[in-house]
């Protein structure tokens, strides 16, 4: 493992052990999307609060592997405060990076870049993407 991989691993374990913005809220202003990944038991719910074209809040709850649970936390921390346009761009870039498609390396992924190595493990790509796909769905409901 090189230094960068070690650093990325640290980011992922930190978010797994100390998840940010965890716990759902009972507020109809939030959009809620639930996704399951039967292949590894991941079960994630994402909520987003959008106001005036910006992501005001993201909440998550669920159970699953470290990749899945930590990525929900990273997602929330990365996207809160972004505009909907920026959040969409970051989400697309992240999902393209994971699925080995072309992606814009100029887009600042913040801690989400830590999942770059996951693309080498096709079985884990779904784990790292489901919370982001759920988030994407919450935007579509707008």
CB of 130 to Zn ion, least distance (A): 8
User: Of the candidates 19, 22, 140, 23, which has an alpha carbon nearest to the alpha carbon of residue 91?
Assistant: 140
**CB-wise, 32 or 64, nearer to Zn ion?**
64
Helix or strand run (H / E) with residue 35? strand 31-37
List 65, 95, 107, 139, residue binding Zn ion (CB under 5 A): 65
Region near Zn ion per CB under 5 A, out of 2-10, 11-19, 42-50, 104-112: 42-50
Asked if 61 interacts with Zn ion (CB under 5 A), we say no
List 12, 46, 55, 68, residue binding Zn ion (CB under 5 A): 68
Residues 5-34 within binding reach of Zn ion (CB under 5 A): none
Structure tokens at 69: 């649970």
Q: Are 139 and 50 in contact (CB under 8 A)?
A: yes
Helix or strand run (H / E) with residue 142? none
Surface-to-core class of residue 53, CB atoms within 10 Å of its CB (0-12 exposed, 13-18 middle, 19+ buried): exposed
Asked if 42 interacts with Zn ion (CB under 5 A), we say yes
Question: Which residues of the shown chain bind Zn ion in the complex (CB under 5 A)?
Answer: 40, 42, 64-65, 68, 127
């Amino acid at each position: 493992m090189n230094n960068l991989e070690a650093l990325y691993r640290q980011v992922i374990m930190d978010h797994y052990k100390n998840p940010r913005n965890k716990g759902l809220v009972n507020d109809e202003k939030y959009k809620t999307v639930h996704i399951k990944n039967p292949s590894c038991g991941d079960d994630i719910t994402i909520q987003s609060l959008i106001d005036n074209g910006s992501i005001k809040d993201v909440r998550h709850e669920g159970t699953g592997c470290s990749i899945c649970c930590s990525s929900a936390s990273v997602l929330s921390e990365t996207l809160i405060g972004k505009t909907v346009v920026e959040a969409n761009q970051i989400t697309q870039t992240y999902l393209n990076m994971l699925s080995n498609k072309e992606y814009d390396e100029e887009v600042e992924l913040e801690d989400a870049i830590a999942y770059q190595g996951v693309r080498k493990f096709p079985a884990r790509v779904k784990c790292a993407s489901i919370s982001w796909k759920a988030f994407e769905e919450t935007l579509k409901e707008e």
